[in-house]
Amino acid sequence: MADPVNYYLRLLDRSERPLTVAGVQLEQLPIASAEIRRQTLIDTSGIRYRQISLTLRTQYQLTGYMQVGRSLKDLDQHLAALRLALLLGWPVTMIVIAICSWYLAGHAMQPVYRSYQQMEQFTGDAAHEFRTPLAAMHSTIDAAFRLHGQSGSDLLSEPISRTLQVIKRQNARLSKLVGDLLLLARLDRHQLAGEYCLCCLNDLISDLVEELAFLAIEAQVKLVQQVQTPKKLCILGNEEQLYRLFSNLIINGIQATPNGGQVTVTLERGDRYAFIIVQDTGIGIAPEHQSLIFGRFYRINQDRSRASGGSGLGLALACAIARAHRGSIQVQSQINKGSTFTVKLPFNTLAKIRG
Ligand code: ADP
């Protein structure tokens, strides 16, 4: 219940001079025109009052005024408190909602995350387990061929020899696939973070261009390197992985380029990044495939890829390696004009990789 002293009642004469006041002490409150029926007044200390004025009259004449008012101090205080509560409560509520949503989303994602982890674990473990029998098969086939060569006899008949050749080829292909899967699994689980050292990109690219020159000659494609850095460009990374990344891109470029075409490998230095650009004048990639080619086992032309021995893991691996180095790969391509793969690698990776 409101404080009764909040109210006042005052009687004014005809000239609006106060005759008597009851309730709140009103020395500081201005005498506003009694002609206005409802009004809000403010006293000298800033407290608001709501006032109603009534005229008092006999049958013939005006005898005075009666004013009834109420201090709005307590209501204003409540309103101020409410405004403050809303002002502070709104962001606090939003933060609480955000935290709860984050927690609940995390909780709901747990089974998905767990099955993803199990899938990763399974891929890694399966690939690891496959390596030993594949290596054993490889050595057995090699031993059979060696025995055949040494004995000079026709120990292996022609059909058996041909079958063994096929098995050996398929074994090599399967071993590569298993190796790729194992590397992907290790990259997914950040298991290679400790194996970083200073890698000179100029040397890496020169070596690669030299090593893949025979492949380019065989495909009648010109393989060119353009190193546009006055000084050697070194980054912290895993040399073996970077080698895989660039070789995958260059080999893809060579395979996608018809006779007489060109594959150019460019090394450029940016402010914080090294750019390695592999550009070919090949068949190009249709826009609808461009965002998909980095997915695992994605091949544009299944038959052609099978013929080239690709499993669709090359670009997925390249992408995972670039990401493990806190970098990225982008592709720009036009059908029948060629493709450009741009790898962006930061110089200062070690702190981030270890962090
Ligand atoms: P793969 O290991 O089978 O070569 P990738 O992951 O390297 O698979 O490539 C995925 C798909 O992208 C392949 O089907 C390949 O044909 C296509 N591709 C990759 N690079 C190029 C390129 N430079 N030009 C045209 N197509 C390409």
Summarised one tens digit per residue, pLDDT across range 46-72 is 888 899 999 888 888 888 889 898 889
Tell whether ligand 1 has an atom less than 6 A from the beta carbon of residue 254: no
- d(CA 321, ligand 1 centre) in Å: 16
Tell whether ligand 1 has an atom less than 6 A from the beta carbon of residue 280: yes
More confident residue, 158 or 73: 73
Render 92-108 in DSSP notation, one character per residue. HHHHHHHHHHHHHHHHH
Which segments of 152-238 does DSSP mark as H helices, in order?
158-188, 201-218
Are 261 and 221 in contact by the 8 Å Cβ rule? The answer is yes
| Six token digits for residue 257 | 């380029």
Radius of gyration of the chain (CA): 42
- d(CA 349, ligand 1 centre) in Å: 28
Range with the largest mean pLDDT of 38-47, 179-188, 326-335: 326-335
- The protein residue with its alpha carbon nearest to ligand 1, atom 19, reads 252
Cα–Cα–Cα angle for 104, 324, 247, nearest 5°? 140
Residue 312 pairs with which residues in a beta bridge?
Answer: none
Cα–Cα–Cα angle for 140, 143, 147, nearest 5°? 140
Domains of the chain, CATH where assigned: 7-71 (3.30.450), 74-191 (1.10.287.130), 194-351 (3.30.565.10)
Checking if the pLDDT of 121 tops 70, the result is: yes
350 pLDDT band, cuts 50/70/90, is very low
- d(CA 101, ligand 1 centre) in Å: 40
Residues 6+ apart with CB under 8 A from 20: 10, 11
| Global pTM value | 0.68
Tell whether ligand 1 has an atom less than 6 A from the beta carbon of residue 310: yes
| Six token digits for residue 348 | 């200062």
- d(CA 312, ligand 1 centre) in Å: 7
More confident residue, 39 or 341: 341
Q: Give the pairing type, strands 62-71 and 222-227.
A: unpaired
Ligand 1 pocket: which of 265, 299, 339, 343 to mutate (most atoms within 8 A of CB): 299
Are 29 and 71 in contact by the 8 Å Cβ rule? The answer is no
Tell whether ligand 1 has an atom less than 6 A from the beta carbon of residue 261: no
16: left (phi over 0), alpha (psi -120 to 50) or beta: left
354 pLDDT band, cuts 50/70/90, is very low
Tell whether ligand 1 has an atom less than 6 A from the beta carbon of residue 285: yes
- d(CA 284, ligand 1 centre) in Å: 10
- d(CA 171, ligand 1 centre) in Å: 22
Ligand 1 pocket: which of 244, 293, 296, 332 to mutate (most atoms within 8 A of CB): 293
Tell whether ligand 1 has an atom less than 6 A from the beta carbon of residue 253: yes
Cα–Cα–Cα angle for 104, 106, 108, nearest 5°? 65
| Six token digits for residue 77 | 């205080």
Checking if the pLDDT of 224 tops 90, the result is: yes
Ligand 1 pocket: which of 252, 317, 340 to mutate (most atoms within 8 A of CB): 252
Residues 6+ apart with CB under 8 A from 177: 311, 313
Lowest mean pLDDT: which of 81-85, 100-104, 191-195, 327-331?
191-195
H-helix or E-strand containing 77?
helix 73-151
